[in-house]
Amino acid sequence: MSIEHTRDWSTLLPAEKPNGPIDQAFQLPNIECFTLYRFPCVLKHPSGYDTWRNEIYHTLKIHNLHRLIDSNIVRPYKDSPNARKWQQMSIEVRNWIAWNMDPILVRMIVKEQARAQLADEFMTGADVLLRQFTRSPQDPEDVSDVLLKFIGCQRRHYSSARWFVHRLMEYYTHTMNMKLRIPPFVPLLILLAQIEGDVGPAFVNLRYERLENMNNIAEDVTKGYFENVYFDVLEYLDSMDQSRRLIEED
């Protein structure tokens, strides 16, 4: 349809429609991604994930970068003209998103997501991992249910040690969402008591010795301390699996 030669703007031009399929490289802006760092939006606790994610999305949309975090939109072909620009921007957006998270949450995502270098895969990992921690029940029956699940979390109820460790962290996070103020040494002791059959007594006894050397376990075992042991267990399980595979290959 031809456009009328006039200065009368009472009728606006129709929106431009793309000629081909839209991929993540469609209409990438000519901006430096460091501009995003002028818009801090820090997620400190998983309970606020959904609100935080919406803020991240809208900030990116303002700069026409929102498609980079949508794994439902196809990526560009590697030989397309915008491929290199898309890759660089995707990595930079991913780094900005991680900058807006508590480092322990970033570590959890990278640990569990097979690939988390690009923006869409990092956000997919965040969706899968952190949304399970957002529920914050307030009904007394829900509170009792979460407490019983947390206290009764046992290794024998799960097919793998890794699944048990994740569940324990999930249940403990729910208690924090409800502000029940369970001290971090409680899930730590549950973890060590239940995981010994998988990691061996040497691993567990070393952690017990460190606890015995503390002046006050209730004060010295912080949430961060528990999270570090949580990751130590996961990394140790990974190393055991890797050693097992090498032996089987030989």
Mean pLDDT of 202-224: 93
Residues 139 and 112 in one domain: no
- Residue 181 has a CB neighbour count (10 Å cut-off) of 7
Regarding whether 156 and 197 lie in a shared domain, the answer is yes
Same domain, 102 and 167: no
Q: Are residues 85 and 160 in the same domain?
A: no
27 found inside a domain: no
The mean pLDDT of 53-79, rounded to a whole number, is 92
Q: What does the block give as tokens for 139? A: 């009904």
Q: Are 192 and 86 in the same domain?
A: no
Question: Is the Cα dihedral 100, 191, 167, 133 positive or negative?
Answer: negative
Task: Name the domain boundary from 70, 101, 132.
Answer: 132
Q: Is residue 239 part of a domain?
A: yes
What pLDDT shows up at residue 161? 93
One domain for residues 124 and 147: no
Look at residue 137 and tell me whether its pLDDT is greater than 70. Answer: no
**What range defines the domain where residue 152 resides?**
135-249
Domain match, 108 and 39 both:
yes
Asked if residue 174 belongs to a domain, the reply is: yes
Asked whether residue 169 is domain-assigned, the answer is: yes
| Residue 144 sits in the same domain as residue 237 | yes
**pLDDT-based confidence at residue 17 (cuts at 50, 70, 90):** low
- For residues 74 and 109, state if they share a domain: yes
Residue 46 structure tokens: 């998983």
Selection from 102, 180, 166, 188 nearest residue 136 by Cα:
180
Would the pTM count as exceeding 0.85? no
Per the prediction, the chain carries an average pLDDT of 86
Separation CA 158–CA 160 (nearest Å):
6
125 shares its domain with 200: no
| Together in a domain, 244 and 141 | yes
Residues whose CB falls within 8 Å of the CB of residue 60, separated by 6 or more in sequence, listed in order: 36, 66, 68, 69, 93
Q: Which of 98, 132, 166 is the last residue of a domain?
A: 132
Q: Please give the share of the chain, as a percent, with pLDDT higher than 70.
A: 93
Q: Is residue 118 part of a domain?
A: yes
Residue 188 domain flag: yes
Q: Domain check: are 168 and 215 in the same one?
A: yes
Angle of CA points 241, 225, 116, to nearest 5°: 50
Domain end marker among 113, 132, 151: 132
Question: Distance between CA atoms of 85 and 37, rounded to whole angstroms?
Answer: 19
Task: Give the count of domains, the chain.
Answer: 2
d(CA 34, CA 243): 41
- pLDDT score of 198: 95
